């Protein structure tokens, strides 16, 4: 059973109306992971393009299927490929994180090495026969890098936008500001448009990044195991990280290509979509076999 099939027989699923009227119905996979079972929401884009690569979108620390809005579909149309968008556990309309449960400091390692393989198995996608390409944003970019390092024969290529390799002071300062905004402004109500349980999404992300032990988090040593093509993207005005992040990728993965964008903050797909899509299309077409 391959990922271009809309649903594996026997999997429980349900649909709901997403904010994007043109979006495909959202499905829910029953994923057994970390000793528990979780409903994980996901959406396929153009599954009929069976001869084209599958581009999997991994969202940021406060992201979800809905928060991407139309970017995944726009990029997939530009490339002419299939797409798969999911909300990780605790985000969007996936199973929420219990209020008493904290993300562990190695949560992104676990997401890359255990959750993603379990998710692909749950939806019936054979990553050996059909290695996906990964587009990861922020935390999702870090997870994409670690997945490619752990499973070098199960990924076709990587596009990582504003990924984190290590913790910078600018990152922590912005996360502290976000914490203050969540408590004192309407940020919670805004996030509620994209998450069934905004507290699950926000505090899971915020608490772990501000955990003093997280300051030592660093994934640079894992990167030399990456063999697939890599495009790393960063904005000069990113409030959550500096160019040291993607320059670090180039140091450890010599074949990586870098895209540095002017007038661009932490979300290149929102701040510079045209330049980003142009670069992604050229990158995928150049490296897809």
Sequential DSSP letters for 107-126: HHHHIIIIIHHHHHHHHT--
Residues 6+ apart with CB under 8 A from 168: 241, 242, 244, 245
* pLDDT attached to residue 288: 87
Model pTM? 0.91
* pLDDT attached to residue 25: 82
Nearest Cα neighbor of 234 from 253, 262, 211, 210 is 262
Cα 220 from Cα 123, distance rounded (Å): 31
161, containing H or E segment = strand 157-161
Contacts made by residues 184-193, CB under 8 angstroms, sequence distance 24+ = 191/62, 193/19, 193/66
End-to-end CA distance of the chain: 22
Cα 102 from Cα 89, distance rounded (Å): 13
Pairing of strands 133-137, 82-86: unpaired
* pLDDT attached to residue 99: 85
Strand partners for 261 = 235
Nearest Cα neighbor of 120 from 234, 40, 197, 224 is 40
**Average pLDDT along the chain:** 91
Q: Which domains does the chain have, with CATH numbers?
A: 27-287 (3.40.50.1820)
**158 contacts 240 by C-beta, under 8 angstroms:** no
Nearest Cα neighbor of 75 from 288, 275, 286, 287 is 275
Strand partners for 151 = none
Residues in the chain: 289
Q: What is the DSSP string of 171-226?
A: HHHHHHHHHHHHHHSTHHHHHTTT-SSHHHHHHHHHHHHTSGGGGG-B-GGGGGG-
DSSP state of 166: B
Q: What is the DSSP string of 93-106?
A: TSPPPPTTPPPPTT
Cα 202 from Cα 178, distance rounded (Å): 9
Crossing angle of helices 273-287 and 71-79, in 10° steps, is 40
Instruction: Region of 211 please: left (phi>0), alpha (psi -120 to 50) or beta.
Output: beta
> For each of the chain's 289 residues, which pLDDT tens digit applies?
223 222 222 222 233 233 343 446 889 999 998 888 999 999 999 999 989 999 999 999 999 999 999 999 999 999 999 999 999 999 999 999 998 899 999 999 999 999 999 999 999 999 999 999 999 999 999 999 999 999 999 999 999 999 999 999 999 999 999 999 999 999 999 999 999 999 999 999 999 999 999 999 999 999 999 999 999 999 999 999 999 999 999 999 999 999 999 999 999 999 999 999 999 999 999 998 7
């Amino acid at each position: 059973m391959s990922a271009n099939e809309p649903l594996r027989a026997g999997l429980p699923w349900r649909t709901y109306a997403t904010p994007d009227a043109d979006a495909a119905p959202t499905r829910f996979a029953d994923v057994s992971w970390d000793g528990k079972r979780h409903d994980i929401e996901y959406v396929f884009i153009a599954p009929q393009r069976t001869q084209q690569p599958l581009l999997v979108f991994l969202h940021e620390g406060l992201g979800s299927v809905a928060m991407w809005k139309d970017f995944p579909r726009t990029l997939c149309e530009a490339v002419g490929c299939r797409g798969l968008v999911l909300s990780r556990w605790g985000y969007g309309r996936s199973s929420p994180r219990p209020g008493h449960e904290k993300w562990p400091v190695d949560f992104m390692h676990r997401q890359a090495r255990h959750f993603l393989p379990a998710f692909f198995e749950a939806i019936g996608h054979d990553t050996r026969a059909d290695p996906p390409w990964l587009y990861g944003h922020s935390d999702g970019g870090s997870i994409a890098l670690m997945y490619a390092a752990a499973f070098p024969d199960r990924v076709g290529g990587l596009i990582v936008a504003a990924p984190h390799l290590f913790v910078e002071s600018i990152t922590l300062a912005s996360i502290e500001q976000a914490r203050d905004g969540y408590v004192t402004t309407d940020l919670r109500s805004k996030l509620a448009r994209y998450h069934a349980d905004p507290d699950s999404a926000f505090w899971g992300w915020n608490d772990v990044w501000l955990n003093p032990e997280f300051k030592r988090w660093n994934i640079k040593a894992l990167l030399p195991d990456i063999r697939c093509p890599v495009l790393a993207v960063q904005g000069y005005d990113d409030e959550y990280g500096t160019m040291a992040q993607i320059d670090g990728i180039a140091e450890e993965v010599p074949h990586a290509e870098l895209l540095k964008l002017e007038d661009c903050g932490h979300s290149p797909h929102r701040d510079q979509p045209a330049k980003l899509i142009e670069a992604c299309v050229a990158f995928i077409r150049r490296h897809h076999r």
